[in-house]
Structure formats: structure tokens, C-alpha cells
Chains A and B, each alone.
Chain A
Amino acid sequence: DAGVIQSPRHEVTEMGQEVTLRCKPISGHNSLFWYRQTMMRGLELLIYFNNNVPIDDSGMPEDRFSAKMPNASFSTLKIQPSEPRDSAVYFCASRMGGHIGELFFGEGSRLTVL
């Protein structure tokens, strides 16, 4: 079975450009999470969706970040405009609703903003 699929795996862009990261959760999972990994703060939760509805976006750093989940099989995380401090690995994860704990992560999207 396919796991969580993220694209692109790597993105290098210049400051000020728009970045869009994509995620396809595991089929049947109805909770989706976006995390950011940095050396200083480890894995930070940015936003999560339940049944395609954003539940908590308090981790989104600022208005430059936005996330959508138009349907159960697709989500995007957009950064506009991007800044060098946004450089990190962004992970998408999904889970069956109601199951505490275990998340299934994608392989991540490594973003470098020059």
C-alpha cells in the first residue's frame, strides 16, 4: 500500500518566490498534519485537518503560510513570499480519525530559500 506521498522532495528557490508543497495522505485516513523540522525546534506542528476541515492552525508561523485540503486525498502548504528562514524539511502525516497516537509520515519536502 502506498504511504503518505509528498512532492517535491527537494525545492530550491529564491527569497520572495511562492512555494507550494503537496501531500497525498494514506487512503482512508481522515486526519492530516503538516509539520516542519528544524535543527533548533525539532518537529513543529503547523496545522492539522480533520475530514478536510482545518482544526488548529495556531502553529502556522505567519500570514505568509497557508494550507488547504480541497478533498480527502490532497493537501497543499503554500508559502508566499518565501524567506530564507523558511528553509526546513516539511513533513505531511496522516492518521485514522479517532486513533490516538500513531501518525504515518511522508518522506518530507526539503525547502531551501536562498
Chain B
Amino acid sequence: DQQVKQNSPSLSVQEGRISILNCDYTNSMFDYFLWYKKYPAEGPTFLISISSIKDKNEDGRFTVFLNKSAKHLSLHIVPSQPGDSAVYFCAASSKARQLTFGSGTQLTVLP
């Protein structure tokens, strides 16, 4: 029973356009959400996070939106760049501090 779901295994976007990656969760105890980025043959690296008391957090080209009523979060990348091509993992944390990850979305930004 996956508590964090990324239903799109892949996404292709043209360079300069917006990339929107989606994530859904089922556990209402989750109170902190993160996005990780992973290049081939490397470990995941932290990208951006959001607390459940907020609905938006922005860091440069990256913005994460949280809709608690829908148990949905999304990562927006604008403008998308070829270097953004990677696997993006959504993750959620509860008071127990463990991170539960989704299955990932492969983003390909086409030049």
C-alpha cells in the first residue's frame, strides 16, 4: 500500500516551458513534504521542501505547491532546462521523521 504516489512515470517538456510534476499521498499524518532529484549513477539530492502549514514554497525556478484537502502536491519548474532532466522523487514525513518516497517521475527536457 503506497502512501506516496507519483502516477506519471515519465514526462517530456520542451526547454523553456514549464514542467509540472505531481504527487499524491494518503496518510493525513504527513506534515512535511520534499522533492528529491536523482541523476543516473548518483544518489538522490534534496531539491525543495514544504511544511504542511504552508501551501507554497518557492526557490528560484522551483516552486512546490501543497493542497492538503486534496492530499496533493506538485513541483513546478520554470523555465525548464536540459540540465533538469532527471528522476524526481516526492517524499513525505510525519512526526516519526521517516521519509516515505514515491516511485519517481523521469523528467526529460528537450532542447
Contact = CB atoms under 8 A, between A and B. Distances in A.
A12 interface: no
Interface size band for B: 20 to 34
A107 B102 CA distance: 19
Interface in A1-42: 4, 31, 33, 35, 40-42
Chain A interface main SS type = strand
A48 B89 CA distance: 19
Given A42-B89, A42-B103, A101 B32 contact: yes
Interface residues of A, number: 23
B39 to A, nearest CB: 10
A42 B44 contact: no
Given A45-B100, A101-B49, 20 more contacts: A31-B97, A33-B98, A33-B99, A41-B103, A42-B6, A42-B101, A43-B91, A43-B104, A91-B44, A93-B43, A101-B34, A101-B93, A102-B46, A103-B99, A104-B46, A105-B43, A107-B42, A107-B43, A108-B42, A108-B43
